Chains A and B, each alone.
Chain A
Amino acid sequence: MQSKIPTSKTSRGVVVGKAMFKIGVASSKGAVKRAFMSKENKEASQSETHAEIAKVIIDSLGTLKGVSVKIAQQVALGLPFLPQEYLDEISKSFNAIPPINKALIRKILKQELGDYPQKVFETFDNDAFGAASLGQVHHATYNGKDLAVKVQYPGIATSIESDLSVIKFALTRFAKGQNIDHLMDEVEQRLQEEVDYTLEADNTRFYEKNLNHELIVVPSIVDALSTRTVLTSTFLR
């Protein structure tokens, strides 16, 4: 079965701490080697070390999953001082989100929509057909209409803050004296917006209303079946 998202700040701290230790090893390995190398070789080795460190960081973010994947994305967009190797690794991690199992889906939908998925919808496919940011998407039908139901992992919104403080600690090392506070604030704001599906519903409705282009089709939100952590829209093929 899939490994699970570490939740408490300490457990996340441990994962990141472990990564920091590995980074230390990778960096010093490079430094020792470089002392005995020509200039070109030095540059190649430096880039190798960067790639290695990047992999370690992303691996640990991958273990954290959920929000951290989002943070990695945001960091990739917002932190220009990271070497290209890091950005490459980060872009690889975009789909690394663990599935929510059938028991959890049932529980979340009952909690959010008031009844079990098989009762709310005419049909509901327990197996997700896609991974969304911070959740997964299921196919369902309701009133004869094809629907896409996006479901968020429980506890994501509350773990943002603790996750970010850990990541901030890790990133300060690479900022080389630059102040990253404003960047982290920005990242946190974007994340808070992203975990609230009602905002996404508002935006979708806005575009549905205001976009008039024959080539662009915007799905309609099903209000009655959407909450802060569940977003139901028509399914477009």
Chain B
Amino acid sequence: MKVSQTAKEKTKAKILEEAVNLIIEKGFKSASMREMAKNAGVSNPTIYNYFPTKERILYAYVEQKHKETAMILQEIEDFNTYTLREQLQTLIETELELYLEDREFIMQISDMVFHSGGFKVDTLYQSNELFHEMVRDMLSIAIEAEEIPAPPFEEHLPRLFWDYYIMVVAYWVKDDSEMFENTTQFVDHSLGVIEALLQSSILNKANDLGMFLFKTHLLSALEKFSVKRTGLKKMKRKFGEMLDAK
């Protein structure tokens, strides 16, 4: 029997939901795939078809939240009238809001990431394509609309923003203020900083300074300490000859 794509998605979502509940109840380590399968009403082999490892469930969870966030953002009719900062802030707030119902699950994951070291956050990067894409879109539109000058390393900024987001989640997990209003303010303030950085030419200037220092000092220092000193010198001489010849 051929299982339709929507049926597959449905089963996957069901497993994910039950897995999150079980992990909240028993902890990530003690929650078994067998029990997750049982709770979701699928057979033991079936669950492995969807999630070969328990970690995969985490990635799928993060990916799922990105998808839901993207859908919510798409529904905002006047989203194009938002400033870059407002768009980024809405992205973060929406993700956090979706995390709220599984807060205990996120707390466990956060513990694993930041304290026991049992789980590496960079492995999450694979499931972040959608998040990166959303940030990349917002950035490129803001650059095109001349809201911000084109920043250096533009292609790496979505990744950096994800790292910032992880920091926000870590703050949120520890936040015990009413309605998590401290996190709200933390996001508001820190995005103010990010906005100011992006709007100013500081990033570009810092990049210029870095490149200058690298070219004039670091390269010569490298030359000094390099084991392949003679090789480098030769290259330099050759380069000099080339310039002289011009």
Contact = CB atoms under 8 A, between A and B. Distances in A.
A137 B124 CA distance: 41
Contacts of A101: 83, 85-86, 89, 188
A110 interface: yes
B177 interface: yes
A161 B109 CA distance: 35
Contacts of A118: 76-77
B188 A126 contact: no
Nearest to A108: B184
Interface string B175-216: 001110110110011001001100100000000000000000
A4 B192 contact: yes
B93 interface: yes
A1 B184 contact: no
Interface of B is mostly: helix
A103 interface: yes
Interface in A12-38: none
Contacts of A107: 90, 93, 97, 184
B82 interface: yes
Nearest to B193: A4
Contacts of B82: 102-103
B241 interface: no
Contacts of B77: 118
Interface residues of B, number: 26
B179 A111 contact: yes
Give the interface size bracket for A toward B: 10 to 19
B186 to A, nearest CB: 8
Contacts of A155: 177, 181-182, 184-185
B185 A154 contact: yes
Given A107-B184, A155-B184, A155-B185, A1 B192 contact: yes
A113 to B, nearest CB: 13
A4 B189 contact: yes
B78 interface: yes
Interface of B: 76-78, 81-83, 85-87, 89-90, 93, 97, 177-179, 181-182, 184-185, 188-189, 192, 195-196, 199
Given A1-B192, A1-B196, A5-B185, 15 more contacts: A4-B188, A4-B192, A7-B185, A101-B85, A102-B86, A103-B82, A103-B86, A103-B87, A103-B89, A104-B89, A116-B76, A155-B181, A155-B182, A155-B185, A158-B178
24 contacts: A1-B196, A1-B199, A3-B192, A4-B189, A5-B185, A7-B185, A7-B189, A101-B188, A102-B83, A102-B86, A103-B82, A103-B89, A103-B90, A104-B184, A106-B90, A107-B90, A107-B97, A107-B184, A126-B78, A154-B184, A154-B185, A154-B188, A155-B182, A158-B181
